[in-house]
Amino acid sequence: MSIVLKVEHLSHRYSSAWAIRDINFEISQHGVIGLLGSNGAGKSTTMNIICGVLNQTEGNVYINGVDKKKNPRLAKKQLGFLPQTPPLYADFTVNEYLTYTADLRFIEKTKVKQSVAEVMDRTGISHFSSRLIKNLSGGYRQRVGIAQAIIHKPGIVILDEPTNGLDPNQIIEARKLIREIAQDHTILLSSHVLSEINLLCRDIIMIESGRMVFSDSMESFNNYIQPNAVLARMENPPAENELMKIPGVTKVQFLTDKQYRIFFHGNTAISEAIIAASMQHNWRLTEISLERSVLDDVFKQLSQQA
């Protein structure tokens, strides 16, 4: 299977500070690969270098085997990029803008009209072809941004926080579109939101503090996200000090007068202990569910292991 994207010993320095250091990974098949990291971890720097917006301080990027540093034009022809802020011209119509981007992508003049029509149909914006971009909703602007990234049918598409700033309905539509595009494109999707990565991605690359700390399947990553709290509802709730007497409980938060978040040591059979205590003291437990550890804890754990 051919390697679509290879990043080799990639490092970049702003002034005296390293933004990323010795990043290495390969992507070799269609689907969505997540680039995960907290804000400021180095995700955008990595993507900007891959796309040719920045020249790296050290290392190499190969797109379909083409060295981006030695042959940047040929390399860039084979990728599409949607930055966090879509590069849209508000006073253009959708059709005018996509025609312009087709020209920028060196699509043959005789094929521009067809390419624009195809990409508008694929992203669901054909009915807005004559509308000014500034009059579109945020969700449809994002669709136009995705359209410009795939109009030339690149091998790899890079999306930087593609659902950032969208409302819940727009996020659902954007996710659906990304899944459809991933059927015949390789997508590298950046996000600091774990739920976004979990819903869309097959594999995951995680960068924290400028260094790569994880590269494997989403299933393997989920092994790090261990439960560390339970949500419990009781009709006859006890005082906090009574809950703290349960072996393994480390902290109790009152969410309502009948609902608690109960933190515990990771290796404790906490649900069984709470159920037993409720039966013994007639707390009338009606609901209990595990709550997974927060993403910051996972970042910290993986960073310490790197």
Which letter does DSSP use for residue 69 in this model?
T
Question: What is the structure's pLDDT at 195?
Answer: 73
- β partners of residue 13: 18
pLDDT tens, N- to C-terminus, the chain (306 residues) = 688 999 999 999 998 899 999 999 999 878 999 998 888 889 989 999 999 999 999 999 999 999 999 999 999 999 999 998 889 999 999 999 999 999 999 999 999 999 999 999 999 999 999 999 999 999 999 999 999 999 999 999 999 999 888 888 888 899 999 999 999 899 999 988 777 888 899 899 999 889 998 899 888 877 666 667 888 999 999 999 999 999 989 989 888 889 988 988 766 688 888 999 999 999 999 988 877 655 556 666 666 655
Question: What is the structure's pLDDT at 30?
Answer: 81
pTM: 0.76
**Tokens standing for residue 141:** 């602007």
Question: What is the structure's pLDDT at 294?
Answer: 55
Q: What angle do CA 219, 225, 226 make, to 5 degrees?
A: 120
Angstrom distance (rounded) from CA 69 to CA 82: 21
Question: What is the structure's pLDDT at 257?
Answer: 87
The DSSP result for 154-177, as a single string, is -SEEEEESTTTT--HHHHHHHHHH
Angstrom distance (rounded) from CA 83 to CA 79: 13
Q: Listing from the earlier edge strand, what are the strands of the sheet with 79-82?
A: 79-82, 156-160, 186-191, 31-36, 203-208, 211-217
3-class secondary structure, 12: strand
Q: Check if the beta carbon of residue 145 is closer than 8 Å to that of residue 88.
A: yes
Among candidate residues 254, 249, 253, the one with its CA nearest the CA of residue 271:
249
Sole residue written with tokens 């119509």 = 93
**Which pLDDT tens digit goes with each residue over 189-232?**
998 877 788 889 989 999 988 999 889 988 887 766 666 788 89
H or E stretch covering 88? none
First CA to last CA across the chain, in angstroms? 29
Question: What is the structure's pLDDT at 8?
Answer: 96
Question: What is the structure's pLDDT at 168?
Answer: 82
Question: What is the structure's pLDDT at 178?
Answer: 94
- Residue-range domains of the chain with CATH: 5-222 (3.40.50.300), 227-305 (3.30.70.100)
Residue 174 CA, chain-centre distance (Å), reads 12
Dihedral sign of CA atoms 171, 176, 179, 180 in order: negative
Angstrom distance (rounded) from CA 148 to CA 35: 21
